[in-house]
Structure 1
Amino acid sequence: MKGAAAAALSELEREIDAPGTGLDRLQLAPTPFVPEVRLHLAEDAIVWWARMEAFAGHPLSPPYWASAWAGGQALARHLLDHPELAAGRRVLDVAAGSGLVAIAAALAGASDVLANDIDPYAVAAVTVNARANRVTVDTSGDDLLDGDVDDADLVVAGDVFYSRPMAERMLPFLRRVVASGAEVLVGDPGRGHLPADGLRVLADYPVPTTEPSVDPSPRRVRVLRPA
C-alpha cells in the first residue's frame, strides 16, 4: 500500500476504534440492499467530511466511499444472486469506493479481486471493509482509465456516470475492456450520463440508499452489460 493510502488507513482505523457515536462517526453495519456485506459507513458523510477536513487542516476529496451508492448495491446484489458471473474469475472493481462490489465478487467465489480507486481514503476503506467481511481484496490507487486491462475477466463499475467528464473517460475504458475479451457489468440509477444505446439491461432493482442529500426512498437501478 502506497504512502497516502497507508496514512489514510491509519486514520480510518483510528476512527473505527474511537469511542462514541454520532453523525460524524463511521459505523459498521449491513448494507441495506446487500445485508450479507457489512460496511463502515458514515451516518452523514457530509458531516464526517467536514470534521475530517478540520482535523487534517486541508481539503479532502469527497468521501464517496462512506456511503453505499445505489448502483454499487444493485451490482453487489446481482453478483451474489448470480455467483456464476464472478466464480473462478479475475474481477476488477473500478472506482470502487467502499469496495462493496469487490467484496460481493469475493463472496461469490472470484479467484482474484482488485478494487481500484484514486482516492487513498477509498483504498483504505476497501481494506478495512474487506477485513470486516473476512475476504481477500487487493487494492490499487492508480488511475487506470487511460490504459488497457489485460488481467481481468470481469470488470464491474457502479455509479460511474455521475458527471460528463467522468463518463467521457469511463466509456472508452469500458469499450477497450470489452474489446479485450473481458466482460463488463455496470450499475446505474439513472444519473444522466449513461449512453442511450449500446447497453443491454440484465436486471432492474428497487434499491434503498444511504447517499447524502438524496431522497431515502428506493431508487430504480439497472444492471447493464455492453451489447
Structure 2
Amino acid sequence: MPLVPEVRLFLAEDAIILWARLEAAAGRSLPAPYWASAWPGGQALARYILDHPATVAGRTVLDIASGSGLVAIAAAMAGAREVTANDVDPYAITAITANARANGVVMSPAAGDLLDGDGDGAEVVLAGDALYDGPMACRVVPFLTRAVDRGAHVLVGDPDRQHLPADRLRPLATYHTAVTSPPEDAQIRRADVFAVRASTDTVQQR
C-alpha cells in the first residue's frame, strides 16, 4: 500500500475487469468489488492506527464496511485485543480472510448488515470509506452516532466525498498519497481521519 507499506493485500489490477469476470462466472449481477481496491480513506485510517497504536491496543475493535480488511488488519497489528471485520459482500469476507492470513494476524470476519445496531459493544468502531454516497451515509452516520453515544471511540477515514457530517466530526490527521483505488478515486491525493463526537457534544458545540 502506498501509505501503509506494512500491510500486504490481494488487490485487483483492474477492479472493473474483475467485476465483469465475477458476474460472468456467477451468471448474474453482483455488487461492485469494493474489497478489491485500496481506498484512500481506508489507507489514511490504517496509517493513523499504526502511528497511534494506543487508539486500539488492548481493546475490542469493529471495522465496518471492511472491504479488503485493510483497516482491521492495521488494528490487529497495532495490538487490538479482538478485531471484527464486517462487510455485507461474501466476496469481501473471503478477501478479508485471505488478507489477514497474508499479514499473519488473527481477526474475525463477520458477514451481514450491522448498521441498525450500535456496534455490538465494541470499544472502538472504525469506518474507512464508509460514506461513499448519500444513501450509505444516511445509514452509516446514525450507526456511528449510536456507537459513540454508548461510549465507543469512533474513527472515520474519508477523502471528503461530500457526505461527511461536519458538525459531528473532530479532525485528527490529514494524509497525502498516490493511491491504488477505483477509477472514481484516481485523482484523490488527500484523505482525512476524524473522531466522531457524541450527539451531546454536537449540541454543546452549537
TM-score (norm 2): 0.92
Residue 96 of structure 1 corresponds to: 66
Residue 127 of structure 1 corresponds to: 97
Structure 2 residue 11 is the aligned partner of structure 1 residue 41: yes
**1:65 counterpart (35, 50, 69):** 35
* Alignment partners' CA distance in 2, 1:217 and 1:164: 21
1:41-61: per-residue Cα shift (whole Å, max 9, x none)?
001000111112112211111
CA pair 216-168 structure 1, distance change in 2 beyond 3 A: closer
Q: Is the 8 A contact 1:74 1:207 kept in 2?
A: no
**1:189 counterpart (159, 164, 167):** 159
Deviation at 1:218, TM superposition (A): 5.3
1:89-116: per-residue Cα shift (whole Å, max 9, x none)?
1000000000000000000000000000
CA pair 51-150 structure 1, distance change in 2 beyond 3 A: closer
Unaligned runs of 5+ in 1: 1-30
* Alignment partners' CA distance in 2, 1:211 and 1:107: 23
Give SS of 1:210's match.
Answer: coil
Q: Is the 8 A contact 2:118 2:144 kept in 1?
A: no
- Where relative contact order (Cα < 8 A, 6+ residues apart) is larger, the structure is 2
Q: Which moves more between the two structures, 202-211 or 213-222? A: 213-222
1:136-188: per-residue Cα shift (whole Å, max 9, x none)?
01011121101122421100001111111111111110010011101000001
State the number of aligned residues: 197
Q: Is the 8 A contact 2:39 2:182 kept in 1?
A: no
Q: Is the 8 A contact 2:154 2:195 kept in 1?
A: yes
The aligned runs of 1:67-82 (5 Å cut-off) are 67-82=37-52
Residue 10 of structure 1 corresponds to: none
Which AA in structure 2 matches 1:87? A
Residue 155 of structure 1 corresponds to: 125
Deviation at 1:63, TM superposition (A): 0.3
Give SS of 1:33's match.
Answer: coil
Identity of aligned residues (%): 62
Which AA in structure 2 matches 1:181? G
Deviation at 1:197, TM superposition (A): 1.4
Structure 2 residue 16 is the aligned partner of structure 1 residue 32: no
Unaligned runs of 5+ in 2: 198-206
The aligned runs of 1:99-118 (5 Å cut-off) are 99-118=69-88
Deviation at 1:226, TM superposition (A): 1.7
Which AA in structure 2 matches 1:198? R
Give SS of 1:211's match.
Answer: coil
TM-score (norm 1): 0.84
Give SS of 2:54's match.
Answer: helix
Residue 222 of structure 1 corresponds to: 192
Give SS of 1:35's match.
Answer: coil
Superposition RMSD in Å? 1.2
Q: Is the 8 A contact 1:73 1:207 kept in 2?
A: no
* Alignment partners' CA distance in 2, 1:59 and 1:69: 23
* Alignment partners' CA distance in 1, 2:85 and 2:185: 28
Which AA in structure 2 matches 1:86? V
Question: If each structure's strand is expressed as a fraction of its own residues, which one has the higher value?
Answer: 1
1:4-63: per-residue Cα shift (whole Å, max 9, x none)?
xxxxxxxxxxxxxxxxxxxxxxxxxxx121010000000100011111211221111100
